[in-house]
Structure 1
Amino acid sequence: MVFLILWEAGSRLGLIPKSTLAAPSAVIGTLVEMLTTGELPDNLWVSFLRVAAGLVIGLSIGIALALAAGLSRQGEAAIDPIMQIKRTIPTLALTPLFIVWFGIGETPKVALIAFASIFPVYLNLYSGIRGVDVRLIEGARSFGLSKAEVIWHVILPGALPSLLVGLRYSLSVSILVLVVAEQINASAGLGYLVNNARDFMRTDIIVVCLLVYAALGLGADGLVRLIERRALAWRPSLAEG
């Protein structure tokens, strides 16, 4: 609150030029205007669709690879080294290459988000599968459960907390990559608004979009926490809470 007061006072006194950073009151006014005209909801929906498409692709690939590597020694030998190599490649450094491959339409934007969201969910699910207590697996086998039943009833539930951690990271990473992906010749979306605002030095719009990005991150994290409370109610720590 003190920071906002100082920020507003500095803007009104001319210590902070409007072209450098708009006052909080101006930012709020711009936010209300963009909501009223529908400009912000329309562009937010476009960004949401990009993130959703990228996440569906990335999470699907990451989960499939983690299951193959975590449940099979042969799968681990074939997949994990490649994934570790992928981990060392900065996603944003691939932007020029993706533009060459996929053009400047929607495909490179979605592809960047998908590529970035694969590894967090892969690594956490893979570690979760390998971290399941061997005694639980042996106990399940002693009760006559088949391999498929052991996987379904023991290994996957045991790895679920790790999967949700990976999902949280993937959601966060996808929003970070969205900021850069929407700089690629976007005609709509939050990044499009930021680009236009930069050209016209509308720092109020830039701040509004930054606040929306932050709200998206908090909302995504809150969604995963809600899923955790529902799906992991059997955990003592959550049951007691």
Structure 2
Amino acid sequence: MTTTKQVVLVTGGTKGIGLATAQELATENRQVVLNSHRELSADEVAALQAEFSTPVEIVTGDVAKEEDADRMVQTVLDKYGRLDVLVNNAGQTQDKLMTRMTEASFKDVLDTNLVGTFNMSKFALKVMQKQRSGVIVNMSSIAGTHGNLGQANYSASKAGIVGLTKTTAREGSLRGIRCNAVAPGMIKTAMTAKLSDKIVKQFENEIPLKRFGDVQNIAKTVAFLVDNDYITGQVITVDGGLTM
């Protein structure tokens, strides 16, 4: 089936920033497809569908595995005949000071965050190049642009995404494809919810706007990058001024 709607694939799209982004991009003129790392139960699927005013599709797979990335993109292509927007949001953390971090932990985070972004972009680009159009938005972090204590693996993966974004933008521009990245700061998510009140207060004091951001702040930035057709190769920081 070929649809006239824009087709959007959001990795890690079932919760947090990914879900908020998918909701922001879900309109009458867009078909949204969510990637989940694991198979969801019928109840979970029903609850997820209830979050949207238009029907969404769910594809299961591990972005760190090349064969899964290929299959997920091909599934979207087979069902809808096109892929217009890829949001590489899937990611993980395994925080620990570098001297205590294992090589396995370092590689595991890089595999999901950086290799996963590469895998999905690679197969999406093949589709978009044939269409001579498409948009890729990658999720980096201020940890990738400025580093962060206890996040050698995460920071390295997110810094790698910055370089990957710029290379993808250069290669994609040959066929009218754009690629940008968003670098969130302290955003209210399940990950930051684990922080103690003391740490939260410390960060709030350091942030010029004196508060954490919401997932909608990131979602709206992604939507802006999808819609503005004269921005490519850029990293947009959304951190309340923390790193200015």
TM-score by length of 1: 0.27
Greater per-residue strand proportion: 2
TM-score by length of 2: 0.27
Greater per-residue helix proportion: 1
Which one has the largest radius of gyration?
Answer: 1
Task: Indicate the structure whose relative CO is greater, using CA pairs within 8 Å and at least 6 residues apart.
Answer: 1
